[in-house]
Amino acid sequence: MPVSLLGAAEIRRLAADLDVTPTKKLGQNFVVDANTVRKIVHAARVTASDRVVEIGPGLGSLTLAILETDASVVAVEIDHRLAERLPATAAAHDVPEGRLTVIDADALRVDHLPGEPNVLVANLPYNVSVPVLLHFLETFPYLRRGVVMVQAEVGERLAAPPGSKVYGAPSAKAAWYGSWRLAGTVSRQVFWPVPNVDSVLVAFDRDAEPRGSEEHRRRTFQIVDAAFQQRRKMLRQALAGVLGGTAAEASAHLERAGVDPTLRGEQLTIDDYARIAAL
């Protein structure tokens, strides 16, 4: 039998059975619309040959939509009650045995994923979305693409190009791993409870080759952090602390890297930052 999806009434029953009251802290706004979860899976280009890691499956509405494609899923869930119930929910919706693996853990502490999944799909709360994404991209190089549903502010920042109003440290750090783009909007009405913020889908494709070594990445991110800590300062001032100790030394370093010392951090691409860090 084909995998069936959760409906709004069943989601509420599951929450009641588990005594789950959706909380802002864990970002528990559950998606109750089948078209929306299928839209997310379509945006992630999930096929039967894919192995997917899903962060924050909650009650399983998106999980079942992924499994509907015949892909296999590793689900990482921080709420013990939800993690324990998910396999039973999957079985009740005709998911074949062995296609779903549940990891009961904080995503920020996960350092191993069985089966080396190649696609990431997630519905992430505001306060941990960027740290979780960067942790997974850093830790699991076999993740080649993915789609995450996040608050609009976070998604727009992740996908922002250099020089744009919302371009910041998360934009530059995300770009270290590959290309990012907005992949759709999500109505507030598809969530239970209905949130008071807008959500978007943001998609990424990892670059074919790593941009640099782990040491190079750490140094690049240190420079990115320094540049955006003082957004309105010229780079020669903002980076003095990490490029020699004085504005003059920072200027000389930047010039050797081919970067104008009078620019500001939000004007630089990740390639610019990587070049500065390489010297």
Q: Are 266 and 251 in contact (CB under 8 A)?
A: no
b/e map of 29-51 (b: 16 or more CB within 10 Å)? bbbbbbebbbbbbebbebeeebb
Which of the 8 DSSP states describes residue 6? P
- Res 20: pLDDT: 83
Q: Can you spell out the DSSP letters for 68-81?
A: TTT-EEEEEES-HH
Cα dist from 57 to 12, 37, 84, 207, 219, whole Å: 15, 11, 12, 27, 34
Name the pLDDT band for 28 (thresholds 50, 70, 90).
low
Strand partners, 52: 73, 119
Helix, strand and coil content of the chain, in percent to the nearest 5, comes to: 40, 20, 40
- Please state the rounded mean pLDDT for residues 42-49: 98
Is the pLDDT assigned to residue 279 strictly greater than 60?
yes
- Res 125: pLDDT: 87
Strand 199-206: give its sheet, edge to edge: 100-104, 72-77, 51-55, 119-123, 145-151, 199-206, 178-186
Q: For the chain, what is the total number of helices (H) and then of strands (E)?
A: 11, 9
- Res 230: pLDDT: 76
Is the pLDDT assigned to residue 88 strictly greater than 60?
yes
Q: Can you spell out the DSSP letters for 234-267?
A: BHHHHTTTTTTSSHHHHHHHHHHTT--TTSBGGG
Only one residue has tokens 């009740």, namely 92
Cα dist from 98 to 78, 171, 194, whole Å: 21, 37, 34
Question: How far apart are alpha carbons 49 and 114 in whole angstroms?
Answer: 16
Of the chain, the end-to-end C-alpha distance in Å amounts to 59
Closest CA to 199 of 151, 239, 236: 151
Closest CA to 205 of 274, 152, 159: 159
Question: How far apart are alpha carbons 103 and 5 in whole angstroms?
Answer: 21
pLDDT in tens, 184-220: 999 999 998 888 899 999 999 999 999 999 999 999 9
